[in-house]
Chain A
């Protein structure tokens, strides 16, 4: 069985699955349950300077559902821990003492001045915690007070604070990034300049999940009003994966360790983040939806996958997909595929037909017996039919062999690679030679 032991910026954990700084890691009671369930580590919910913040006394979460009320996206307006600093520090110390093999990282958010950082860091160090994570991402509430995302959206502040922190502690420092910016590489570079040991991303995305159509107010609604919250869960995974990849494939940031966060729900999600450059992953919404037990599936699934791939350690998976992340203009325009429908698997729902006929290329035929087939003359291999088909593997994309004729264009499928930079339609094309 594959060895899932993980070492991230020198912090060891029995597996790469950490719970993210969030409600599940706010108290000793929860964290003990998490460790008993098998989580490799936690990032303790963000600590601040006393007096502790207060939370709303109404709904803190809003949700987006898929079929059968499956939770796809969760929005929250909760703030950092609302418990006294001393209580949290005591509990962190106790839990770390009892679970020395697990990663214990502490999330921090204090005002954007050096003194509070100098004050809190020794207190955290004294607990025996393995590292700190700087919360520069929280997009609601705290940002109105000049903390969280208000810092994370200004690279100069990130660099400045990171430098203060590095100067005040020997613990590894992870900088947590907000996705509510235009180019994720800028804050990552700032963290690197400030001396960060790693970045973690993404924090939550500014969001309004829904509107109460009777109250005419955003949800979650507090006494008739709503404020934007932070969005997370499976729905944000594609955004997070892209941001992780943007950092991982940037030559200047290639050595920056990444803790991947954003909608990780299954072992497969975790493996995808790791392949795109994350050294480990952090999980919140999946645990909040299903409980801590899900880590068992993550552990068994990742082990089985690694065994199948003959990988013996997580390091062998890290960055495995990074070389294949490229720009659009580098994609091979001579690669030609066609959709293919497996008639034995087809249940004749006709969704591929409706999608293609109404919204795409009229490349699927429907006969009187509800047999659906691809019209190769029209198919541009857009993949929409595959995406809307309810049956796994029923529609696939088959690459055409070089040398045969594409019936859509009447042109021979070329064997060599050619991208947009050399395409005759590109006014800025450079010669192929």
Chain B
């Protein structure tokens, strides 16, 4: 038992030094060859398969599984990557239990779907670990496209455009490319530097320049990009974070969950990352779960996730909720924060229970907290953007914005469901429409 286990406040090294590697190891260790063959054997090769329909990127899942089963994993990888260039990351982070695996007929038949996500990882890892890039650029078109944001949407768009023969300049505000793949996903979902390795592998297509530390509205402007390039794709995601609206939320120790997750991903030694003894996470999506689980993994004694509605309304999948529960996270529902208490730094956070219509019940809950993570949604940042729909950039089915020559996709654009895989699909589809527009 570590001596710091019960220490109040925010401190690093709550666990024995040797414990961190295990805590943050791969959530789903990769299938070995035997496991992959056994898993692949279960696929029925359905006609017009429901799993394909359920995949936002329309990967031909029965075909790639058959290719694994017949001993050609690299052909399987090409089947995956031709539809979804970030098939490696999606294999790790997709909520498959709500997508392909939920639709699998063996889920209906036996309650046990084919392990599509893990098989996808088997195939893509097999190809990518050899450093092979299976696509080649078409003859140069002489057209130049700017892509803002090096996350899943931007990189997917950039790769497809480069493949079609265009020259692509990618700009990203952060020091490293990858977007949420690099900064926004729990460490145990993509360990061992996979996000950067995937970007490097993707860039092998050629024809893409990467400019990091380049923020829209600062180093670059939409107006300037429109003047310098034949087309612009906006895929910069959501840079802002919603406020709690609770009294005292400016106290020390009240932090954005996305920053906590990003810090963890960039940390070279988890033992150096400070964490509270009593941690409260507010929110009900993947970000909230990722923050809560990792707080627990870092050694927080008590981690409570508080969501304003019922469990059935949480954006986090049942799998994610169960994962959090299995790690010891307590989930409280139907409660909204009203006040953060403490002298300078948070000591307690107070909630009011609400009914199904979000009306206060007068019943209160106070939780000890030396650290509070807000994960109640992110917002679009920036001025001089194309017209919005709600709080996001309005796009049509092809990803076109209100401004001629400007497309958008991923979390910053309207529609979609804020998943990596939908961002990849939107980037890819916008690229095809840009290509059609530029070369006719």
Residue of A nearest to B45 (CB): A351
Q: Which one of A304-312, A342-350, A375-383, A395-403 is at the B interface? A: A342-350
Contact B50 A348 (CB under 8 A): yes
Report yes or no: A347 in contact with B38, Cβ–Cβ below 8 A.
no
B44 A390 Cβ-Cβ under 8 A: yes
- Per the bound structure, the CA–CA distance linking A370 and B41 in Å amounts to 23
A350:B47 contact, CB within 8 angstroms: yes
A397 to B219, CA, bound (A): 72
User: Does any Cβ of A come within 8 Å of B21's Cβ?
Assistant: no
Closest residue of chain B to A353 (Cβ to Cβ) is B47
Q: Shortest Cβ distance from A251 into chain B, in angstroms?
A: 46
Q: Decide if B47 touches A347 in the complex (CB within 8 Å).
A: no
Smallest CB–CB gap between B51 and chain A, Å? 11
Chain B, 35-63, CB within 8 A of any chain A CB:
37-38, 41-42, 44-50
Query: Does A208 touch B at the CB level, under 8 Å?
Result: no
Nearest opposing residue in chain A for B62, CB measure: A349
Chain A 259-313 interface residues, beta-carbon cutoff 8 Å to B: none
B48 touches A366 (CB 8 A): yes
Q: B108 → chain A, closest Cβ, in Å?
A: 5
Interfacial chain B residues near A67, Cβ < 8 Å: 41-42
Residue A349 contacts which of B37, B38, B41, B44 (CB distance < 8 angstroms)? B44
Cα A351 to Cα B106 with chains together (Å): 13
Point out the residues of chain A lying under 8 angstroms from B106, CB to CB. Answer: 347
**Is A354 part of the binding interface, using a Cβ–Cβ cutoff of 8 Å?**
yes
**Partner pick for A348 among B37, B41, B42, B108, CB 8 A cutoff:** B108
Complex Cα–Cα for A68 and B37 (A): 8
Chain B positions within 8 Å of A347 at CB level: 105-106, 108-109
Question: CB-defined interface of B86-123 with A at 8 Å, one 1/0 digit per residue?
Answer: 00000000000000000001101100000000000000
List, in ascending order, chain A residues with CB within 8 A of B41's CB.
Answer: 67-68
Using Cβ atoms and an 8 Å threshold, which residues of chain A touch B37? 69
Instruction: Check if A349 sits within 8 Å of B48, measured CB to CB.
Output: no
In the assembled complex, the CB of B39 is this many whole angstroms from the nearest CB of chain A, namely: 10
Task: Specify which chain B residues have a CB less than 8 angstroms from the CB of A391 in the assembled complex.
Answer: 109
Given that A347-B106, A391-B109 are contacting pairs, would A354 and B47 also be in contact in the complex, using a CB cutoff of 8 Å?
yes
Identify B50's interface contact among A357, A370, A390, CB under 8 A: A370
Chain A residue at minimum C-beta to C-beta distance from B37: A69
A352 nearest in chain B by CB position: B47
B38-A68 in contact (CB<8A): yes
Question: Shortest distance in angstroms between B63's beta carbon and chain A's nearest beta carbon?
Answer: 13
Q: Is the CB of B44 within 8 A of A351?
A: yes
Residues from chain B with Cβ under 8 Å of A348 in the complex: 46, 50, 105, 108
Interface residues on A, range: 10 to 19
Q: How far is the CA of A357 from the CA of B47 in the complex (A)?
A: 10
Q: B265 → chain A, closest Cβ, in Å? A: 39
Cβ B109 vs Cβ A350 within 8 A: no
**Chain A residue with Cβ nearest B106:** A347
Interface residue count on the B side (C-beta < 8 Å)? 15
Task: List, in ascending order, chain A residues with CB within 8 A of B38's CB.
Answer: 68
Q: Which residue in chain A gives the minimum CB-CB distance to B109?
A: A347
Docked Cα-Cα span, A347 to B44, in Å, equals 11
Quick one: CB contact mask for B154-194 with A, threshold 8 Å, 1 for yes?
00000000000000000000000000000000000000000
- Residues of chain A within 8 A (CB-CB) of B44 are 349, 351, 390
Give the distance to chain B from A234, nearest Cβ to Cβ, in Å: 17
CB-nearest residue of chain B to A358: B47
Give every chain B residue within 8 A of A390 (Cβ-Cβ).
44, 109
Within 8 A of A (CB), among B258-279: none
> Contact at A350–B108, with CB atoms within 8 Å?
no
Contacting residues of chain A (329-371) with chain B, CB-CB under 8 angstroms? 347-351, 353-354, 357, 366, 370
Query: In the bound complex, how far is the Cα of B45 from the Cα of A68, in angstroms?
Result: 15
Q: Which residues of A contact B47 (CB under 8 A)?
A: 349-351, 353-354, 357, 366
| Chain B residues within an 8 Å CB radius of A69 | 37
Nearest-CB distance from B155 to chain A (Å)? 34
Q: Which one of B41, B46, B49 has the highest number of Cβ atoms from chain A below 10 Å of its Cβ?
A: B46
Task: Render A63-75 as a binary contact track against B, CB cut-off 8 A, 1 for contact.
Answer: 0000111000000
Considering the complex, which residues of chain B in the window 202-243 have a beta carbon less than 8 Å from any beta carbon of chain A?
A: none
- In this complex, what residue of B is CB-closest to A370? B50
CA distance A357 to B48 in the complex (A): 12
A21 to chain B, nearest CB (A): 34
Contacts of A353 in B (CB 8 A): 47
- Closest Cβ neighbor of B108 among chain A residues: A347
B33 to chain A, nearest CB (A): 12
- Cα A354 to Cα B49 in complex, Å, equals 11
Residues of B within 8 Å of A354, CB to CB, are 47
Query: A residues within 8 A CB of B108?
Result: 347-348
Interface positions of B from 290 to 310, Cβ below 8 Å from A = none
Question: Nearest chain-B residue to A389 (Cβ)?
Answer: B44
Centre residue among A350, A353, A390 by max chain B CB count within 10 A = A350
The CA of A347 and the CA of B105, in the complex, are separated in Å by: 6
Residues of A within 8 A of B45 (CB): 351
List, in ascending order, chain A residues with CB within 8 A of B46's CB: 348-351
Q: Please, which residues of chain A bring their CB within 8 A of the CB of B49?
A: 350
**Residues of chain B contacted by A68 (CB below 8 angstroms):** 38, 41
Q: A52 to B199, alpha carbons, bound, how many Å?
A: 66
- Expressed in whole angstroms, the Cα–Cα distance for A428 and B48 within the complex equals 47
Complex contacts, A357 vs chain B, CB 8 Å: 47
- Residue of B with least CB distance to A354: B47
- Measured in the bound complex, the distance between the Cα atoms of B44 and A67 in whole Å is 11
Cα of A357 to Cα of B106 in the assembled complex, Å: 23
Interface centre among A347, A349, A370, A390 (most CB of B within 10 A): A349
Closest CB in chain B relative to A108 CB, distance in Å: 43
Closest to A390 in B: B44
CB distance from A360 to the nearest CB of B (A): 13
Chain A, Cβ-Cβ closest to B69: A67
| Nearest Cβ on chain B to A375's Cβ, whole angstroms | 16
A347 to B106 CA separation, bound complex (whole angstroms): 8
CA–CA, A69 and B40, complex, Å: 12
Q: Which residue of chain A lies nearest to B38 when distances are taken between CB atoms in the complex?
A: A68
Q: Give the distance in Å from the alpha carbon of A351 to the alpha carbon of B48 in the complex.
A: 9
Q: How far is the CB of A352 from chain B (nearest CB, A)?
A: 8
- Alpha-carbon gap, A376 to B15, bound state (A): 69
Known: A348-B50, A349-B105, A353-B47. 10 other contacts (CB 8 A): A68-B38, A347-B109, A348-B46, A348-B105, A348-B108, A350-B47, A351-B44, A354-B47, A366-B47, A370-B48
21 cross-chain CB contacts under 8 A: A67-B41, A69-B37, A347-B105, A347-B106, A347-B108, A347-B109, A348-B46, A348-B108, A349-B47, A350-B46, A350-B49, A351-B46, A351-B47, A353-B47, A357-B47, A366-B47, A366-B48, A370-B48, A390-B44, A390-B109, A391-B109
Q: Which residues of B come within 8 Å of A, CB atoms?
A: 37-38, 41-42, 44-50, 105-106, 108-109
List 10 A-B pairs, minimum CB-CB distance, nearest first: A350-B47, A354-B47, A347-B105, A349-B46, A347-B109, A67-B41, A349-B105, A347-B108, A349-B44, A68-B41
